[in-house]
């Protein structure tokens, strides 16, 4: 992913497209559940959203949970509502579907239009059943989210796209949108803005995609784009980590935002002060995680203006000339000219600052939490994909194991056998939950910003 969209173009499109698509910000102690298919089961986009809250609102604990199962359509999601979704006691429930509902191979065969009509109609009928259940959730905020697109336009070797599949998906987005208007719920369309992000890049690089080789599953960067669009719809564009604005030629501090500055000292060699922010910078993972993914989370900033809009920790010092070292807590961070300081240094883009390193610990703990959560999602996959229609839902007995072993020719079942034989024991699941609870407690212990000593020292 080497092509960077013009930030001005991206800002214009995304700000205008999402103008009417506002989602309420999460509140302290919310339990936010994301219901979806394999894209949600992967867990990355909602984990990235939660990481934003962990770092930007360190004193506002909340819980973000996944309820995705690979292969699900609206039909399967309806069947999971009681045992897998409502049982998580959501105060906010975000629901997305449409990728599997619209089918696949039939789009390149005769009768594709009729097939699309049938699949969209089936999805609508099952959604109406979901809608009826949601109407009874008077204490739960409902958000419908139009699915990320099927990327038909990328040129991918050995992968012929299913023509007009995404048009069928957009018909599902349309009835989701209409339902939110009728019911007073909230709505976000991911399909159209991600497609629009793809278009200008694919004109220059036809093989570019935010998705894997299957055109369906976003890679880490794609999940971060989804998280960015969600956070933007929540109104976080322009919300900085912190801002320090000092006039280096005069006494006093010009402005500060979301932080406090104290013990400001000036001398012939530079400036020093104590800095306590109310937030941590958002750390972007540079490691590719997940099966067959190619682009790390951090690659997303090449295609969306996340850093410019939502991750600015600005240190601006005017009225100084020459070159200066930036030192934080006795660690040399880098060297900039007086002109660069006057324009502003975005410390959130510097991974070697102590505050960024602190945020990385939060990120790594969040990733550990996600790995444990995936075990629960795979356990639910076995329950609802294999056992549900056989009358063995949550039986977790010898008959369940026998049925599983009879289906080992299915690679997805075989891949989950070892995990299921552990997870079928309630003691194992209880232990996993305690691990997640411990990680949660540790995250909200170490995510509190610390007082930092900042020095700007002139280079002779």
Question: Which residue, among 128, 136, 212, has the nearest Cα to 172 in the 3D structure?
Answer: 128
Half-sphere exposure of 421 (CA within 13 A, CB side): 10
Which band of pLDDT confidence, cut at 50, 70 and 90, is reported for residue 10?
Answer: very low
User: For residue 301, what pLDDT is reported?
Assistant: 97
In three state form, how does the secondary structure of 193-240 look? Answer: HHHHHHHHHHHHCCCCCCECCCCCCECHHHHHHHHHHHHHHCCCCCCC
Which pLDDT score is estimated for 287?
Answer: 96
**Residue ranges per structural domain of the chain:** 7-233, 242-357+448-458, 358-446
Averaged pLDDT for residues 425-453: 98
pLDDT at 7: 42
pLDDT over 70, % of the chain: 95
Fold of the domain spanning 7-233: Rossmann fold (3.40.50)
What 8-state DSSP symbol labels residue 283? Answer: P
Cα–Cα distance measured from residue 93 to residue 32, given in angstroms and rounded to the nearest whole number: 6
Q: What is the pLDDT of residue 248?
A: 81
Q: Are 31 and 88 in contact (CB under 8 A)?
A: yes
Strands 259-267 and 345-346: unpaired
Burial (CB count within 10 angstroms: exposed 0-12, middle 13-18, buried 19+), residue 246: buried
Looking at residue 249, what is its pLDDT? 80
Mean pLDDT on 160-181: 97
- As a whole number of angstroms, the distance between CA 460 and CA 324 comes to 9
> Do residues 402 and 335 touch, judged by C-beta distance below 8 A?
no
Neighbours of 327 (CB within 10 A): 17
Q: Tell me, what's the pLDDT at 8?
A: 42
The CA-based dihedral angle spanning residues 265, 271, 273, 276, taken in that order and rounded to the nearest 10 degrees:
150
* Bridging pattern class, strands 92-95 and 141-146: parallel
Give the confidence band of 14 by pLDDT, cuts at 50, 70, 90. Answer: low
């Amino acid at each position: 992913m080497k092509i960077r969209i013009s930030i001005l173009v991206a800002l214009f499109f995304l700000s205008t497209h999402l103008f009417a698509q506002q989602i309420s910000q999460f509140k302290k102690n919310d339990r936010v559940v994301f219901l979806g298919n394999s894209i949600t089961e992967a867990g990355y986009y909602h984990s990235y959203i939660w990481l934003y809250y962990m770092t930007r609102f360190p004193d506002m604990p909340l819980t973000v949970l996944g309820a995705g199962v690979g292969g699900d359509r609206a039909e399967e999601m309806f069947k999971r509502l009681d045992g897998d979704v409502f049982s998580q006691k959501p105060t906010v429930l975000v629901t997305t579907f449409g990728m599997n509902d619209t089918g696949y191979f039939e789009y390149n065969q005769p009768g594709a239009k009729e097939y699309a009509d049938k699949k969209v109609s089936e999805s609508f009928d099952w959604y109406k059943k979901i809608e009826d259940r949601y109407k009874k959730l008077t204490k739960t905020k409902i958000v419908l989210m139009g699915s990320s697109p099927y990327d038909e336009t990328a040129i991918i070797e050995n992968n012929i796209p299913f023509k007009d599949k995404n048009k069928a998906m957009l018909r599902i987005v349309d009835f989701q949108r209409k339902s939110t208007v009728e019911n007073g719920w909230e709505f976000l369309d991911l399909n159209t803005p991600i497609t629009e992000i793809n278009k200008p890049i694919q004109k220059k690089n036809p093989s570019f995609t935010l998705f894997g080789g299957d055109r369906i599953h976003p890679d880490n960067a794609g999940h971060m784009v989804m998280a960015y669009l969600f956070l933007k719809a929540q109104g976080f564009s322009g919300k900085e980590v912190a801002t320090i604005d000092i006039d280096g030629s005069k006494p006093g501090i010009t402005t500060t935002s979301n932080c406090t500055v104290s013990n400001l000292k000036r001398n012939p060699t530079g400036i020093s002060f104590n800095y306590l922010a109310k937030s941590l910078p958002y750390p972007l993972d540079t490691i590719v995680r997940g099966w067959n993914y190619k682009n790390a989370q951090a690659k997303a900033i090449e295609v969306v203006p996340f850093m410019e809009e939502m991750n600015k920790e600005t240190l601006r010092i005017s009225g100084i000339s020459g070159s200066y070292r930036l030192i934080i807590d006795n660690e040399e961070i880098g060297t900039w000219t007086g002109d660069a300081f006057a324009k502003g240094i975005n410390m959130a883009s510097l991974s070697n600052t102590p505050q960024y390193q602190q945020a990385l610990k939060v990120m790594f703990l969040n990733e550990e939490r996600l790995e444990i959560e995936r075990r629960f999602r795979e356990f639910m996959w076995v329950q609802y994909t294999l056992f549900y229609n056989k009358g063995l839902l949550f039986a977790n007995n010898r008959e369940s194991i026998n049925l599983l072993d009879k289906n080992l020719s299915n690679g997805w079942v075989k891949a989950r056998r070892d995990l299921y034989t552990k997870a079928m024991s309630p003691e194992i699941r209880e232990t996993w939950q305690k691990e997640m609870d411990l990680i949660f407690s540790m995250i909200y212990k170490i995510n509190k910003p610390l007082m930092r000593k900042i020095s700007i020292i002139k280079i002779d």
